[in-house]
Amino acid sequence: MQLNVLSERYATPEINEIFSEIGKNKAERELWVAVMEVQRELGLNIPEEDITAYKSAVNDIDLELIKKIEKTTKHDVKAKIEAFIQAASKKASKQVGQHVHKGMTSRDLTDNVEQMQYRNAANIILGRGVSVLRHMLDNSQSYAEYILTARTHNQPAQPTLLGKRFSMWAEEMLEHLESFEDFIGKYPLRGMKGAVGTQFDQMVLFDGNIRKVEALERKVAEKLGFKNILSSTGQVYPRSLDYAMVNNLAQISSAPANFAQTMKIMAGFGLVNEGFEEGQTGSSAMPYKMNTRSCERIRGFANLIKMYADGASRLSGEQWQEGDVECSVQRRIIMPDSFYTVDGLFETTLTVLKNMHAYEGEIVQELNKFLPFMATTELLQMAVKKGVGREDAHKTIKRCALAESNRMKEEGSSVNNLPQLLASDPLFAGVGITFEDIQKNLQDKLHFVGNAYDQIKYVSDKAAPLLDRYKEAANYEPRQIL
Amino acid sequence: MQLNVLSERYATPEINEIFSEIGKNKAERELWVAVMEVQRELGLNIPEEDITAYKSAVNDIDLELIKKIEKTTKHDVKAKIEAFIQAASKKASKQVGQHVHKGMTSRDLTDNVEQMQYRNAANIILGRGVSVLRHMLDNSQSYAEYILTARTHNQPAQPTLLGKRFSMWAEEMLEHLESFEDFIGKYPLRGMKGAVGTQFDQMVLFDGNIRKVEALERKVAEKLGFKNILSSTGQVYPRSLDYAMVNNLAQISSAPANFAQTMKIMAGFGLVNEGFEEGQTGSSAMPYKMNTRSCERIRGFANLIKMYADGASRLSGEQWQEGDVECSVQRRIIMPDSFYTVDGLFETTLTVLKNMHAYEGEIVQELNKFLPFMATTELLQMAVKKGVGREDAHKTIKRCALAESNRMKEEGSSVNNLPQLLASDPLFAGVGITFEDIQKNLQDKLHFVGNAYDQIKYVSDKAAPLLDRYKEAANYEPRQIL
Amino acid sequence: MQLNVLSERYATPEINEIFSEIGKNKAERELWVAVMEVQRELGLNIPEEDITAYKSAVNDIDLELIKKIEKTTKHDVKAKIEAFIQAASKKASKQVGQHVHKGMTSRDLTDNVEQMQYRNAANIILGRGVSVLRHMLDNSQSYAEYILTARTHNQPAQPTLLGKRFSMWAEEMLEHLESFEDFIGKYPLRGMKGAVGTQFDQMVLFDGNIRKVEALERKVAEKLGFKNILSSTGQVYPRSLDYAMVNNLAQISSAPANFAQTMKIMAGFGLVNEGFEEGQTGSSAMPYKMNTRSCERIRGFANLIKMYADGASRLSGEQWQEGDVECSVQRRIIMPDSFYTVDGLFETTLTVLKNMHAYEGEIVQELNKFLPFMATTELLQMAVKKGVGREDAHKTIKRCALAESNRMKEEGSSVNNLPQLLASDPLFAGVGITFEDIQKNLQDKLHFVGNAYDQIKYVSDKAAPLLDRYKEAANYEPRQIL
Amino acid sequence: MQLNVLSERYATPEINEIFSEIGKNKAERELWVAVMEVQRELGLNIPEEDITAYKSAVNDIDLELIKKIEKTTKHDVKAKIEAFIQAASKKASKQVGQHVHKGMTSRDLTDNVEQMQYRNAANIILGRGVSVLRHMLDNSQSYAEYILTARTHNQPAQPTLLGKRFSMWAEEMLEHLESFEDFIGKYPLRGMKGAVGTQFDQMVLFDGNIRKVEALERKVAEKLGFKNILSSTGQVYPRSLDYAMVNNLAQISSAPANFAQTMKIMAGFGLVNEGFEEGQTGSSAMPYKMNTRSCERIRGFANLIKMYADGASRLSGEQWQEGDVECSVQRRIIMPDSFYTVDGLFETTLTVLKNMHAYEGEIVQELNKFLPFMATTELLQMAVKKGVGREDAHKTIKRCALAESNRMKEEGSSVNNLPQLLASDPLFAGVGITFEDIQKNLQDKLHFVGNAYDQIKYVSDKAAPLLDRYKEAANYEPRQIL
């Protein structure tokens, strides 16, 4: 029997706690207590002191005891109930009554408890995502002054700001976090629906008083923090809710995946490294290597969560009549593992966002190498303003730029002579455009980045309300990762 | 060269129109007109009468002309611009100025136009989904009185109402439609971001006045009906938006897929058929067969849209720096095909919902066959109330039920003798429970369905606001399908 | 930290052993020993007695010791080497030389060891698959005489044999097992390729004698049982091999998935159950229910393995230059979990195949109900032979069959009066076809199954060579499942 | 109605022909002719001259006529039969007999014809793959002398040969092509199995002589070039065969995807371009850009084919009893689109392989920049041989290498002063290692590539038999791509 690798190596204690045996048992007891409380309110004969005893025993989980009882009962729910009764009796120092699980079917327990787990885990993950967003915004500020060669098709295109790249990822993050927040807020509980969804079982308990059954369900949901309840289900809630959950997890992973992708490429150019602890090296045999191992891991996680979304798609729209357990083994794997995955992904992303380093020298050097090419749009205009025909100017620039680009690569040269080439070309020289004129344009580097600086601010402004709603979560800092 | 099967065989004209060559050209011209109008407002020298001419020519698409021009220009956007100028000049009966595409880069055109297409298609699909919801609700009413054997694990479990099954699917539909509505409402436009997202290109056009560039973007988005704009992008908008779009399409397909699945099974039991046109038969060789071909097709579509969601996942989080065209061929396929798929899925679902038939005789017969088993929960209580120990009663019922169930299958019998068996059992007989007592319980069939009847109503109530917001769409009726 | 659910609940000890910490350490030591042996053969100065000591210590894995050393060395491979040295020294009762991992880079260890694990696991899974095949063939014999209503579109179509269904699944199984066998047989080892695949590191060790480096690789592969070695890799072997491996696992799961699907449907009709242990019941509340929980689980596993195939697709074709560790976290999850999944799937399939039961009474009853419909092909011929026009006969049969089919469902009737209807129809009566004539045709039920009986035999014959090659594996019987 | 984008823009005429309406009709007629020929051989009364007429009319497809007839018959197969009869009669100048489709059910036509299409398309794709392999091998020769900085984690690691990268991709290609060749060779035909797989329908035609039915199937398969036939199917062949087919297509796409990935990165470093036609430029606005658009497209295709593999997984293991048409709409899309995708992928790959260019200057420059780092393994040995302790040497090298690497990036410098740093370090200087000693080691660049040169040859040798089996296909050259 192996450990779950995602849980063991990558997930944080908070998420692990939720999906642990202990965590699950606690959630079950919380549900049972809520049900007893409301059943009492609605007139069932359940003594308050018993409920108090149960409530005080919610966290006293004795897994060994449960296993022991199960060996006798051969029924896991019965064993859990018995263990809960024993724990409550111990707290109360007297035998409490058998009021647990009244009128409930097994799915009244499992489906609702799983939804509690998912909702709780989702809230934590949302918070972590907000922290990722905050770190991205922080970096967008820190690197707001770094003029960088923007690349499309991995080729130099126009200057931008390194900080703007972070605002780009931050905004993508924001988009999906807001949707996720909505999704969690509306996430509807299955409720007390009984064996086939008709609430027949609780109705029998309440002697046919269906209004009480409805009140039970409503009040239990409230106690558990759910605003919405499904009105009509089968034995189970529609598994498309699981699909939507995992889709959300996959969607909030896209911005970190984009970030990590570009980090990998930038590190290859020597523009950044992802941060190294004191004494850490890429490999013992090649100590100079600053591998982006964490960024690679982020991307591995991003692929995994998409895989689990694929898995969750196979749960959705596959229900036979009122339900069966075809989904059971899939959900057992897919749901916790999805949360572990994104948990690990965010933890790693936070670490890189926090520790990364940018090499200004290399960034400047790259910009200088390519700026003359990237300035050709304006050089064209310069010529046109001096009376050169647009097509003629374009042809000349194209010819010179291609020739120089080729020369540089063929010779392995970093020196870009395009300004000289143009200045000495009859067409440019003919209208009096000099090498100095061209250099002047190139020297004002900042104007090339357009609106990038303000865009950084706009994204921060957009994100502010969300950061404000989750202040504490936004301040989360990553633990030590593997 | 083949036709796109999804477009040709299954999609409706409205969706086909959007993704047709004509439709795309129209969207491009709409965008260009919006840009010119705002550029004029912001002070660029574009004569109003030229804009009027362009506006009047938006729908005059001459694909042959475009192709002809492209042969000369070797550049598709240039060809489209030239054709637009010609069309506008024709309308204006004079040569209009060359104001189209000013300061725009190719992605300023393509990304925004594609988003217009997706948003428009999404709105139509949302409307169709609302109609599916309405039909489900209609059927939940029509079949509200049909007491049906609910099945879990495909085995008889407890009675329910056939109408409740429809309310179950309706509520699942509703959940995802509401999310989809939200998603469309917030769907942010990429805007006029230029070659690497810095808006440098439009800034040059406006002589460095970046506030005008921002105003341009904002006003164009408004004209096109977008409430939100991304503040900071690269060359392209994040493809996770495409992923989220297709995920939404997959999620709204889950309820129809569940419906079709259970229809297939029910038809196998002879409880329903999916509806047959006059003279239509299952197959020429086997005329008595009432195959659920349309339900099977719905499920095929449901698998396809999940496949496209998988494809869209491969677009998400895969951006290199400011972007490239790795996504291009994927989006060309995945995005339109996703809309066609769900369009076809909804059209087929509507057809089945509208035409299906339930066989009351077979439904009653099935219920009678299994009701004694399904009533055992209450028969147990009956015995307990008469003083029998719960465990003893359970053991007896279990023994008798298993024996009778086995006998029936071994003999291929539809007659359920459990009431007799129990009534003649010493345990039941001993406390005076007679065959008549048991029959009495069985005869009040309706009480077995618990809260099913009211649940139907609750789902209708929940859905009412959405139906109200999309009244016209809700009334949509399917065309003739293949 | 949670346990891996697939490993813990579903996988067998043999597969778990391979992917356990212990199992991995053993494989590493096997590789190291093989390398030392061959290095010695090729002239490196490694004393034979040291190798003997190492060899005898391969299975003495002390995980605690390794962890303890790792705390000092901060390097897992170094810790493992040191622990191996200590274990060998203990066996030899003297300090052995430090000959482990000579000239090897980390991937020379990890990639090759993982391939050993996958190959070993694949062989076990292949064997289990052969046992599934054997059980399917056994059942095809056991049920060779059960005439069954074959269904297409879940509607009665023509008679077949229940045994033939098993032969159908068996042949599908056979097809994919043979491919899998081929795949495993050819599965190429990465070999000793060094840090970027050039074998530079081993070459340095052998003073530039590259022929020795090649011999080392070849002989090590032979010792480990690999027939093929890749000639040119980067740091890692192409991950498309992992994709192909998981695809194979998914493909050999299709026949069990088809089997389980039809079992679920058949059980719904009461034709079969999947087998119940003494005293086992479907649910405590509904003891009469014979749920196909195991078949549902098989299908859950089948969905999971397809999900992992999707995950493996994201490993394939994603290599950057000579490689990186983007794939690492994915492979850590996907590869073992894929094997656990199919292991669990086969174990469950074997259990159902072994324990299932068919209800002859219900099978006969269903056949009788639908046979008159299914016989219409021949009844048509009967009429044609008597001189009725084919089209006229077809119309009459169609009309009568549809009417009777409808009547049966509307009335919930199991009695099929089509023979009477036809016999009393003027067209049939007019040419002297009587009710008795029709009944006579219906009574010879066996002729309706065509070649089904022989097909069962043909599949057995086809499968014989494979069963013969894996005799022991074919005899494997499942353990007790959860 | 839109065109199929994959078919229209990317697929070659050969593949398009197979899946065109015309192509499908031809395949149907081929099958019908083969069946008639064998039915005649087996004693059915079908005049030879009629068969001759039919055979001569196989290619005379009149789609308009078929549509016209279909409007009357409302049945597509009947319309096709009638059109075939008319075409044959025209050829024969007399009315031929109605012998087409005798004893066949609709799936006897469709399933077998689709398998013919898939097999034919697979053979073409296999051939194209062989050409890709051949081009990769050609390039491995052409670039066999280019010493290149190998990268792991996108960081410089050790020198390799550019040609070796091609051999690496070639070997991956070879692995999967050989599997694909096997798969196609064994690909089993469904055969003449009738409505539920029992061959009842043909048996009726042959008056119960089942041996003749078997002979029919066997001989027809032979005529169509299939070595294997399934012995026991339902109405349809197992769709896991489709899954395996698409998996193969995805697997043979992995090497081109890896190639394109590394090309994109290399082009970003200026080491290569993917080849540009005379006058072609990256973009009109940025003429100096040499975008790897084709490589990006290859990767887009690679993602698409994995998506279709995901789609095909949803076909596999999903059969209900003897089959239904849930798979129909999926197969209509997935199967042709998969072939188009890989067709386009190979065509684009061939184009890049053929047209690409490597910049020697940039390659040399990059090597010089990083070689001192990459040589540290040997510099360490040099020191150890002179008596320096290994750990001491390692520490010094690590310190110097990290410092120099950092300095270079911080300063944006391409000059690597590690040799000077080491030579002036007391530790190295102390044992008499001079700057010249280090330079000498660095100057023999070739020895750093280890066995790379021979590995290129070994892969060529391995591939030779396959290239030999498909000589003509290997010589295939790509058409002009978009």
Closest of A337, A9, D150 to residue C76, by C-alpha: A9
The chain D residue lying nearest B12, using CA atoms, is D1
- Chains with 3+ CB–CB pairs under 8 A to C are A, B, D
Assigned token pair, D418 = 């590690």
- pLDDT band with cut points at 50, 70 and 90 for residue A280: low
Predicted local confidence at residue C289, as pLDDT? 87
Query: What is the percentage of chain C residues whose pLDDT exceeds 70?
Result: 98
Give the nearest partner residue to C402 out of B157, B288, B310, using CB atoms.
B288
Give the nearest partner residue to D325 out of B293, B308, B327, using CB atoms.
B293
**Average pLDDT for residues D430-456, to the nearest whole number?**
96
Enumerate residues 324 to 353 of chain C having a beta carbon within 8 A of any beta carbon in chain A: 324-330, 332-334, 336-337, 344
Chain segment B38-81, per-residue pLDDT in tens: 999 999 999 999 999 999 999 999 999 999 999 988 888 999 99
- How many whole angstroms separate alpha carbon A391 and alpha carbon A399? 12
Predicted local confidence at residue B361, as pLDDT? 97
- How many whole angstroms separate alpha carbon B446 and alpha carbon A198? 12
Q: B450 and A198: CB-CB below 8 Å? A: yes
**Residues ≥6 apart with Cβ < 8 Å to D471:** none
The chain C residue lying nearest A1, using CA atoms, is C8
Confidence check: pLDDT of D282 > 80: no
Q: A378 and B204: CB-CB below 8 Å? A: yes
Predicted local confidence at residue C218, as pLDDT? 98
Which of C154, C360, C394 is the best mutation test for B, with the most CBs of B within 10 A? C154
How buried is residue A407: exposed, middle or buried, by Cβ count under 10 Å (0-12/13-18/19+)? middle
Chain segment C204-229, per-residue pLDDT in tens: 899 999 999 999 999 999 999 999 99
Q: Which residue has the tokens 């009665």?
A: C156
- pLDDT band with cut points at 50, 70 and 90 for residue D280: low
Confidence check: pLDDT of A201 > 70: yes
Alpha-helical runs (H) found in D198-252: 200-205, 210-223, 240-251
The distance of C75 to chain D (nearest Cα, Å) reads 15
Cross-strand bridge partners of residue A150: A158
Arithmetic mean of pLDDT over chain B: 95
- How many whole angstroms separate alpha carbon A77 and alpha carbon A63? 13
Q: A197 and B241: CB-CB below 8 Å? A: no
**Residues ≥6 apart with Cβ < 8 Å to B222:** none
Q: Could you tell me if B63 lies within 8 Å of chain D, comparing CB atoms?
A: no
Give the nearest partner residue to A333 out of C105, C304, C325, using CB atoms.
C304
**N residues, chain C:** 482
**Amino acid (1-letter code) at residue B227:** K
The chain C residue lying nearest D185, using CA atoms, is C179
Assigned token pair, D56 = 């001569």
Confidence check: pLDDT of C49 > 60: yes
Chain segment D378-397, per-residue pLDDT in tens: 999 899 999 999 889 999 99
Are residues D105 and D201 in contact, defined by beta-carbon separation less than 8 angstroms? yes
**Average pLDDT for residues A162-180, to the nearest whole number?**
98
Chain segment B410-456, per-residue pLDDT in tens: 999 999 999 999 999 999 999 999 999 999 999 999 999 999 999 99
The distance of B17 to chain C (nearest Cα, Å) reads 34
Q: Could you tell me if D444 lies within 8 Å of chain C, comparing CB atoms?
A: no
Other CB atoms within 10 A of residue C458 CB: 17
Q: D288 and A401: CB-CB below 8 Å? A: yes
**Average pLDDT for residues D307-328, to the nearest whole number?**
97
pTM of structure: 0.98
Q: D158 and C200: CB-CB below 8 Å? A: yes
Q: What are phi and psi of C93, to 5 degrees?
A: 55, 30
- pLDDT band with cut points at 50, 70 and 90 for residue D290: confident
Give the nearest partner residue to B8 out of D1, D16, D308, using CB atoms.
D1
Chain segment A61-119, per-residue pLDDT in tens: 999 999 999 998 888 899 999 999 999 999 999 999 999 999 999 999 999 999 999 99
- How many whole angstroms separate alpha carbon A238 and alpha carbon C118? 37
Side-chain half-sphere of B119: how many Cα atoms within 13 Å? 22
Query: What is the percentage of chain D residues whose pLDDT exceeds 90?
Result: 92
Q: Identify all chain D residues contacting C214, using CB atoms and an 8 Å cutoff.
A: 451
Beta strands in A1-154 (DSSP E): 147-152
- How many whole angstroms separate alpha carbon D429 and alpha carbon D420? 11
Assigned token pair, B320 = 């290199």
**Average pLDDT for residues D48-52, to the nearest whole number?**
97
Give the nearest partner residue to C155 out of B282, B310, B397, using CB atoms.
B282
- How many whole angstroms separate alpha carbon A91 and alpha carbon A51? 11
Predicted local confidence at residue C277, as pLDDT? 65
Other CB atoms within 10 A of residue A94 CB: 11
Predicted local confidence at residue A170, as pLDDT? 98
Q: B306 and A316: CB-CB below 8 Å? A: yes
Are residues C466 and C180 in contact, defined by beta-carbon separation less than 8 angstroms? no
**Average pLDDT for residues A324-349, to the nearest whole number?**
97
- Chains with 3+ CB–CB pairs under 8 A to A are B, C, D
Chain segment B207-221, per-residue pLDDT in tens: 999 999 999 999 999
* HEC per residue, chain B: CCECHHHHHHCCHHHHHHHCHHHHHHHHHHHHHHHHHHHHHCCCCCCHHHHHHHHHCCCCCCHHHHHHHHHHHCCHHHHHHHHHHHHHHHHHCCCCCCCCCCCCCHHHHHHHHHHHHHHHHHHHHHHHHHHHHHHHHHHHHHCCCCEEEEEECCEEEEEEEHHHHHHHHHHHHHHHHHHHHHHHHHCCECCCCCCCCCCHHHHHHCCCCHHHHHHHHHHHHHHCCCCCECCCCCCCCCCHHHHHHHHHHHHCCHHHHHHHHHHHHHHHCCCEECCCCCCCCCCCCCCCCCCCHHHHHHHHHHHHHHHHHHHHHCCCCCCCCCCCCCCHHHHHHHHHHHHHHHHHHHHHHHHHHHHCEECHHHHHHHHHHHHHHHCHHHHHHHHHHCCCCHHHHHHHHHHHHHHHHHHHHHHCCCCCCHHHHHHCCHHHHHCCCCHHHHHHHHHCHHHHHCCHHHHHHHHHHHHHHHHHHCHHHHCCCCCCCC
Predicted local confidence at residue D288, as pLDDT? 81
Q: Identify all chain C residues contacting D183, using CB atoms and an 8 Å cutoff.
A: 179
- How many whole angstroms separate alpha carbon B142 and alpha carbon B348? 20
Give the nearest partner residue to A150 out of B176, B262, B322, using CB atoms.
B322
Assigned token pair, B30 = 């709409």
Q: Identify all chain A residues contacting D364, using CB atoms and an 8 Å cutoff.
A: 412
How buried is residue D462: exposed, middle or buried, by Cβ count under 10 Å (0-12/13-18/19+)? buried
Q: Identify all chain D residues contacting A281, using CB atoms and an 8 Å cutoff.
A: 398, 402
Other CB atoms within 10 A of residue C1 CB: 12
Strand A155-161 relative to strand A272-273, pairing: unpaired
CA distances from D289 to A123, A151, A374, D96, D233 (A): 46, 10, 10, 65, 57
Handedness of CA B185, B186, B190, B192 (dihedral sign): positive
**Average pLDDT for residues C379-399, to the nearest whole number?**
92
**H or E element at residue C172:** helix C162-186
Are residues B296 and C153 in contact, defined by beta-carbon separation less than 8 angstroms? yes
- How many whole angstroms separate alpha carbon C62 and alpha carbon C66? 6
The conformational region for residue A278 under phi > 0 = left, psi -120 to 50 = alpha, else beta, is: beta
Are residues C155 and B285 in contact, defined by beta-carbon separation less than 8 angstroms? no
Q: Could you tell me if C270 lies within 8 Å of chain B, comparing CB atoms?
A: yes
Are residues D143 and D190 in contact, defined by beta-carbon separation less than 8 angstroms? no
- How many whole angstroms separate alpha carbon D422 and alpha carbon D435? 8
Closest of D365, D196, A92, A229 to residue C374, by C-alpha: D196
Assigned token pair, B360 = 């009351």
Angle between helices D360-374 and D435-443 (to 10 degrees): 130
| Angle B335-B341-B342 from CA coordinates, rounded to 5° | 100
**Average pLDDT for residues D139-162, to the nearest whole number?**
98
Query: What is the percentage of chain D residues whose pLDDT exceeds 70?
Result: 98
Assigned token pair, D278 = 């005379």
- pLDDT band with cut points at 50, 70 and 90 for residue D289: confident
| Angle D407-D410-D413 from CA coordinates, rounded to 5° | 70
**Amino acid (1-letter code) at residue D352:** V
Q: Could you tell me if B1 lies within 8 Å of chain C, comparing CB atoms?
A: no
Handedness of CA C115, C117, C118, C124 (dihedral sign): positive
The chain A residue lying nearest B206, using CA atoms, is A450
Enumerate residues 400 to 439 of chain B having a beta carbon within 8 A of any beta carbon in chain C: 401-402, 404-405, 408-414
Q: Could you tell me if D320 lies within 8 Å of chain A, comparing CB atoms?
A: no
- How many whole angstroms separate alpha carbon C156 and alpha carbon C164? 16
Q: Identify all chain C residues contacting D203, using CB atoms and an 8 Å cutoff.
A: 450-451
Are residues B153 and C291 in contact, defined by beta-carbon separation less than 8 angstroms? yes
Predicted local confidence at residue B278, as pLDDT? 55
**Average pLDDT for residues D249-265, to the nearest whole number?**
98
Q: Could you tell me if C67 lies within 8 Å of chain A, comparing CB atoms?
A: no
Which of D149, D290, D318, D409 is the best mutation test for A, with the most CBs of A within 10 A? D409
Q: Identify all chain C residues contacting A19, using CB atoms and an 8 Å cutoff.
A: 2
C-alpha dihedral, C200 to C201 to C203 to C205, nearest 10°: 160
Q: Identify all chain C residues contacting A310, using CB atoms and an 8 Å cutoff.
A: 307, 310-311
Assigned token pair, C73 = 């060395």
Chain segment A343-396, per-residue pLDDT in tens: 999 999 999 999 999 999 999 999 999 999 999 989 998 999 999 998 899 999
Assigned token pair, C382 = 């009967």
**Amino acid (1-letter code) at residue A179:** S
**Amino acid (1-letter code) at residue A297:** R
CA distances from A142 to A163, A357, A444, D38, D428 (A): 7, 11, 21, 80, 41
Confidence check: pLDDT of A281 > 60: no
Alpha-helical runs (H) found in A93-199: 106-142, 162-186
Arithmetic mean of pLDDT over chain D: 95
- pLDDT band with cut points at 50, 70 and 90 for residue B277: low
Arithmetic mean of pLDDT over chain A: 95
- pLDDT band with cut points at 50, 70 and 90 for residue C276: confident
The chain C residue lying nearest D320, using CA atoms, is C262
Other CB atoms within 10 A of residue B1 CB: 12
- How many whole angstroms separate alpha carbon B456 and alpha carbon B165? 9
Are residues C288 and B405 in contact, defined by beta-carbon separation less than 8 angstroms? yes
Q: Identify all chain C residues contacting D261, using CB atoms and an 8 Å cutoff.
A: 317-320
**Average pLDDT for residues D141-151, to the nearest whole number?**
98
**Average pLDDT for residues C248-267, to the nearest whole number?**
98
Q: Which residue has the tokens 């910490």?
A: C21
Confidence check: pLDDT of D444 > 90: yes
Closest of A388, A425, A382, A419 to residue A404, by C-alpha: A419
Query: What is the percentage of chain A residues whose pLDDT exceeds 70?
Result: 98
- How many whole angstroms separate alpha carbon B284 and alpha carbon C390? 13
Side-chain half-sphere of A115: how many Cα atoms within 13 Å? 31
Decide: helix, strand or coil at residue A150. strand
